[in-house]
Chain A
Amino acid sequence: GNSVTQMEGPVTLSEEAFLTINCTYTATGYPSLFWYVQYPGEGLQLLLKATKADDKGSNKGFEATYRKETTSFHLEKGSVQVSDSAVYFCALSLNDYKLSFGAGTTVTVRA
């Protein structure tokens, strides 16, 4: 079946530090890959996506590259801010209506 594994954290960083959240996947076929972010008390927002191998998704200083050879989609940001404190979910989707989510990573950025 399809599944997503991401580092669970929690991750605590200082402002301006470098953030990496690892995400690997298992899928039968060629999935689309997503990172969603959930700020405290809110719903999920799409942060970035990639639909095929070697695509790089980017948004708000975050980047992730679809690596088919390592089945990975790691999220990175070069300099985090307090406002980046949130829960981050890696997810995949094939054309079967469903999103398969990772367990989520809680990130806390301290001033």
Chain B
Amino acid sequence: DTEVTQTPKHLVMGMTNKKSLKCEQHMGHRAMYWYKQKAKKPPELMFVYSYEKLSINESVPSRFSPECPNSSLLNLHLHALQPEDSALYLCASRNLADNEQFFGPGTRLTVL
């Protein structure tokens, strides 16, 4: 299985809502990532987990809260988002033996 899956595919939420994005991989990769991508721009790194521990936080606002419950799962909890947070949120995983990252299909988030 060489796939990273993400749910939901689309999400619309209000600024007072709490929601979560989910990412899963079964490749045995021990590094997992969250990225934010605006239209036709490169992905911007948000968080990196290595061996289920948060290793990089790229100064992301606290309204985004990541969680890595186990080596296969990665969540991104969302609370009190702003309309400018509307974007495609991509999850990726990486085998620590090399530098290749595998990306999921993304969650298209719209904040009203």
| A103-B100 in contact (CB<8A) | no
| B48-A106 in contact (CB<8A) | no
Which one of A32, A46, A89, A97 contacts B50 once the chains associate, using CB atoms below 8 Å? A97
The total of interchain contacts (Cβ-Cβ below 8 angstroms) comes to 55
Instruction: Check if A53 is an interface residue, CB within 8 A of chain B.
Output: no
Point out the residues of chain A lying under 8 angstroms from B92, CB to CB: 44
| A97-B48 in contact (CB<8A) | yes
Instruction: Check if A42 is an interface residue, CB within 8 A of chain B.
Output: yes
Name the CB-closest residue of A to B49. A97
Instruction: Check if B62 is an interface residue, CB within 8 A of chain A.
Output: no
| B99-A95 in contact (CB<8A) | yes
Bound-state CA distance A102–B102 (Å) is 17
Bound-state CA distance A12–B66 (Å) is 39
Point out the residues of chain B lying under 8 angstroms from A94, CB to CB: 99
How distant is A104 from chain B, measured CB to nearest CB, in Å? Answer: 6
Point out the residues of chain A lying under 8 angstroms from B99, CB to CB: 31-32, 51, 93-95, 99
| B42-A43 in contact (CB<8A) | no
Bound-state CA distance A101–B88 (Å) is 16
Q: Chain B, 64-96, contact with A by CB distance < 8 Å: what is the 0/1 string?
A: 000000000000000000000000101010100
User: Beyond A43-B105, A44-B92, A99-B101: 17 further Cβ-contacts under 8 Å?
Assistant: A31-B99, A42-B105, A43-B6, A43-B90, A43-B106, A45-B103, A46-B103, A49-B100, A93-B99, A97-B31, A97-B50, A98-B45, A98-B48, A98-B56, A101-B42, A104-B40, A106-B40
Give A contacts to B, CB under 8 Å: 31-32, 34, 36, 42-46, 49, 51, 87, 89, 93-95, 97-99, 101-104, 106
